C-alpha cells in the first residue's frame, strides 16, 4: 500500500516567516523606520488588482506601509519610468513592485530596469537576475525563493537530485533553475518547444511546474516518489499540475491554492523588511 504524499502547507510556511518578521518590523519601528512597499498597477486588470490588494493587506497586518500607485492603462513607458524614478528617490520607500503584466504598448523590460537594485524586492531586474545566478542576490525573485523556502522548511533534499523545471520565464522558470543549481541539484529546463516533455518530466526527482497552463502536467508523467512544486495559479484556483493524478505518484506536493502563493507574498514582505534594515543601519 502506497504511503500518502506529504502535502506542503504554504500557509503554515508563510505564517512562520511572518511571525519572525513581526519582531523585525517592531525593532525597525523603534528606530523610527517604517518599512514601505510601493506597488504600481497600470490599467485595470482584475487579477492584477486582486494581487495588489492582497499584497497591501498582507503589509498592513505586519505593520508595513503599503504605497499604492494606480496608473491609467494609457500610461506610456516614459511616464511609468518617471513614476518609478520618483519612488527610487523617495527615502520612505524601501521596495518597489511593478505588477505584471503591464499593457502591451509598454516596454515592460525597460520599466523593470528602471527599478533601483536596492529596491528591487521582487527580483525583476537583469542585475538582480545576474546576482541570483552567482548566488549573491539580496532579493531573488519571490516565487523561486518561496519554492526553496518550502523545501527547506520540510527538509526536502535538493543536492544530487534531478530537478525538472517546466517553464522559462525570467522571474520564475529561469531563476528557480539557477537557485536549484546553486543548491547542487542537476537541472533540466523545459519549455513550449521541448520535445518528449512527458519523458523528461518522468525523470525528475523534483518537478517545478511554472508553465501557466491549468492541469498541464499529467499524473502519468510523474516519477513515483517525486516532489512536485506547483507554482501555477490559473483561473478557478487551478494549478499547472493535474493535482489528483499527480498526488497519486508524488512523495510531496504543493496544493493550489495554499502552496507556493502564500509563501511568495511572505517572501516579498521579508525582502521589503530586509531592504528597510539596510537603510536603518546606514
pLDDT in tens, 10-32: 999 999 999 999 999 999 999 99
Which CATH number does 33-116 carry?
Answer: 3.40.50.10860
Answer left, alpha or beta for residue 241, where phi above 0 means left and psi between -120 and 50 means alpha. beta
pLDDT in tens, 157-190: 999 999 999 999 999 999 999 999 999 999 999 9
Q: Would you state the pLDDT for residue 62?
A: 96
Q: Examine the pLDDT at 1 and tell me if it is beyond 70.
A: no
Alpha helices in 63-134 (DSSP H): 77-88, 108-113, 126-133
How many Å apart are CA 133 and CA 180, to the nearest integer? 10
3.40.50.720, 3.40.50.300, 3.30.565.10, 1.50.10.20: CATH of 142-260: 3.40.50.720
Going from the C-alpha of 228 to that of each of 28, 116, 125, the distances in angstroms are: 37, 34, 28
Q: Examine the pLDDT at 280 and tell me if it is beyond 90.
A: no
Torsion (CA) 70, 73, 75, 76 in degrees, nearest 10: 140
Torsion (CA) 145, 146, 152, 156 in degrees, nearest 10: -110
Is 85 among the residues known to form the active site?
no
Select which of 55, 161, 174, 270 is catalytic.
Answer: 55
**Domain edges within the chain:** 33-116, 142-260
Select which of 18, 119, 120, 122 is catalytic.
Answer: 122
pLDDT in tens, 199-243: 999 999 999 999 999 999 999 999 999 999 999 989 899 999 999
C-alpha of 264 from chain center: 5
pLDDT band, very low/low/confident/very high, at 282 (cuts 50, 70, 90):
low
Bridge partners (DSSP) listed for residue 71: 42
Q: What is the mean pLDDT of the chain?
A: 96
pTM, two decimals, is: 0.95
Is 86 among the residues known to form the active site?
no
33-116 shares its CATH topology with 142-260: yes
DSSP letter for 101, please.
Answer: P
Q: Would you state the pLDDT for residue 2?
A: 64
How many Å apart are CA 28 and CA 127, to the nearest integer? 27
Is 55 among the residues known to form the active site?
yes
**Of 51, 66, 126, 72, which is closest to residue 96 (Cα–Cα)?**
66
- Per-residue pLDDT, averaged over 56-66, amounts to 95
Q: Would you state the pLDDT for residue 29?
A: 96
**Of 86, 88, 32, 27, which is closest to residue 62 (Cα–Cα)?**
27
Select which of 18, 99, 119, 205 is catalytic.
Answer: 99
Amino acid at each position: 500500500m502506497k504511503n500518502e504524499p506529504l502535502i506542503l502547507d504554504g500557509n503554515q510556511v508563510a505564517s512562520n516567516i511572518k511571525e519572525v518578521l513581526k519582531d523585525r518590523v517592531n525593532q525597525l519601528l523603534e528606530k523610527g523606520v517604517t518599512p514601505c512597499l510601493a506597488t504600481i498597477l497600470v490599467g485595470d486588470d482584475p487579477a492584477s488588482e486582486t494581487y495588489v490588494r492582497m499584497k497591501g493587506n498582507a503589509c498592513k497586518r505586519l505593520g508595513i506601509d503599503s504605497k499604492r500607485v494606480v496608473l491609467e492603462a494609457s500610461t506610456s513607458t516614459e511616464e511609468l519610468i518617471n513614476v518609478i524614478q520618483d519612488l527610487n528617490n523617495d527615502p520612505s520607500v524601501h521596495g518597489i513592485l511593478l505588477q505584471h503584466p503591464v499593457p502591451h504598448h509598454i516596454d515592460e523590460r525597460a520599466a523593470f530596469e528602471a527599478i533601483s537594485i536596492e529596491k528591487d524586492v521582487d527580483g525583476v531586474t537583469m542585475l538582480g537576475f545576474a546576482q541570483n545566478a552567482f548566488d549573491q542576490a539580496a532579493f531573488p525573485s519571490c516565487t523561486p525563493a518561496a519554492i526553496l523556502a518550502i523545501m527547506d522548511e520540510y527538509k526536502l533534499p535538493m543536492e544530487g537530485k534531478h530537478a525538472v523545471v517546466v517553464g522559462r520565464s525570467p522571474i520564475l522558470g529561469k531563476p528557480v533553475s539557477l537557485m536549484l543549481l546553486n543548491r547542487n541539484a542537476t537541472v533540466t529546463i523545459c519549455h513550449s518547444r521541448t520535445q518528449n516533455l512527458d519523458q523528461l518530466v518522468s525523470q525528475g526527482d523534483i518537478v517545478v511546474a511554472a508553465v501557466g497552463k491549468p492541469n498541464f502536467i499529467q499524473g502519468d508523467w510523474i516519477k513515483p516518489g517525486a516532489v512536485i512544486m506547483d507554482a501555477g495559479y490559473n483561473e478557478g484556483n487551478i494549478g499547472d499540475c493535474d493535482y489528483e493524478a499527480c498526488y497519486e505518484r508524488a512523495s510531496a506536493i504543493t496544493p493550489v491554492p495554499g502552496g507556493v502563493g502564500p509563501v511568495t507574498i511572505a517572501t516579498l514582505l521579508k525582502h521589503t523588511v530586509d531592504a528597510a534594515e539596510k537603510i536603518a543601519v546606514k
